[in-house]
Amino acid sequence: MATINQTNQFYEGCGREGPIRCILLSEFHAVAGSKISCQVPENYIAKEVFDSIRFFIIPKPQLQRCTLTVNALGHKVIGYPVKIDHTRYPRNAFYFNLCFVCDSWARSVQYEAVVKKLSEYLLMMEEETSFLSNPDNNTRIQNLLSCILRDLNEKQVATIVEGETTIYLKIVRLKPDPPPVQDHQVPLICKGFENISLEAWDLTTQQVIPFINGINHVARIAAEADVENQLVKSCIQNLVYYGVVQLLPLLKYSNVYMCTRNLQNLSKDRQFAEDCRHYVKLQTEKETPRLPSLHKILQLYSQMTHGVTLRALCQRLCPRDNAIDERKLVTFGLQHCLIRCINKYPIFTGSYPSARHKLYTGLNSLDEICCKTGLTPSRIEEDIDVDSNVTVIWK
């Protein structure tokens, strides 16, 4: 029997996915009660283990046709119990449950839809041909489950053909929901989706996507697209979930950026470096744009550090004289984690806060405060500089 955690590396809730260890078919026998009628591989779930959880495998009628997951004794069992009412069965009913068995630590939510679909298929076969309740079909069921187990583990897809019926099974990887979208964040369309067709999306997304350019923040997109702010946030969150859009900090010349260890990838990956050169080149109307040198790009990135604003960096190194668009440089760096933005978080330390002071909690960045108040960063920074009761944290 599999152990819960042999190396102390995995645990329930760790988010790691594991293979399907076993597929078992359980049914309720009129005399013997709940039992395993078929499982592959054989004897993976011992009788003692099954007897301990059988009340959850064939549950009360109130839990029929619901996805149930039982995590006990080193196994995680995902099932979809089904009851068929008919006079041809003893006690006028037939109970069965098709279950997937995984390691107890494994993430299993991606299997739930497959278990439900397969159970509904077996329900249809049973109603039409008594496929499950006929003992003569035990060998066919064993072979069927063996094929499903092999194909789903190896290829994530399986095709079942029984007579004139065909069913397709596919394991769809479910990603966690992205964090809530904030007004000050800037969506950027990811590489490969620049020419995305709008017809495939809903009406709100069709209105929003044309205003996503890597410069407009969420609140501005809502205003320009004439769409309610919360709808725009939900739309962009949906695009982030599907990997169409990436969220970046608001670009300001008063921002401070810091390079990360990923910057070395520019010197190690030639194709990555070429992509960077083409992305950050300065577009001019009068002449054909020339590619900037990788040396100048690395020089600009490496000079990004604590206490140095983007404005100061541009004044000192003049990126536009070297055919570099500093806005695209920052966008490319943030998109590929070559740099990160160091934000300002004001904290009010006085006794009688004003309406704006109530935003100075240390949890709201300067970008968030700008979006909530409608004031420019320079105006807020001027007020903070002359207010002795406000302290600023950079992080």
pLDDT tens for each residue of 163-174: 777 889 998 877
pLDDT digits (tens, 9 = 90+) for 33-53: 899 999 999 889 999 999 999
CATH of the domain at 47: 3.30.450
Token pair for 130 = 């008594």
Domain presence at residue 12? no
31 and 166 fall within a common domain: yes
* Residue 260 binned pLDDT confidence (cut-offs 50, 70, 90): very high
Find, among 337, 343, 334, 353, the residue nearest to 393 by Cα.
343
288 and 387 fall within a common domain: no
- Decide: helix, strand or coil at residue 117: helix
CB 19 within 8 A of CB 76: no
33 and 146 fall within a common domain: yes
Query: Is pLDDT at 289 greater than 90 in this prediction?
Result: no
Distinct helix (H) and strand (E) counts, the chain: 13, 14
Distance in angstroms (rounded) separating the CA atoms of residues 325 and 221: 23
Find, among 390, 379, 383, 382, the residue nearest to 353 by Cα.
390
15: phi then psi, degrees, rounded to nearest 5: 90, -5
* Residue 157 binned pLDDT confidence (cut-offs 50, 70, 90): very high
Among 142, 170, 198, the domain boundary falls at 170
Among 170, 197, 229, the domain boundary falls at 170
Strand ranges, E, within 63-148? 68-72, 75-79, 82-85, 93-103
Residue-by-residue DSSP string for 208-275: HGGG-SSS--HHHHHHHHT--HHHHHHHHHHHHHTTSEEEEPPP-TT-EEEE-GGGGHHHH-HHHHHH
Q: How confident is the prediction for the chain on average, in pLDDT?
A: 88
* Residue 294 binned pLDDT confidence (cut-offs 50, 70, 90): very high
Query: Is pLDDT at 8 greater than 70 in this prediction?
Result: no
319 and 372 fall within a common domain: no
Range of the domain at 303: 256-342
62 and 197 fall within a common domain: no
Q: What pLDDT, on a 0 to 100 scale, did the predictor assign at position 14?
A: 65
State how many domains the chain has. 4
Among 118, 142, 170, the domain boundary falls at 170
Q: What pLDDT, on a 0 to 100 scale, did the predictor assign at position 7?
A: 42
Domain presence at residue 227? yes
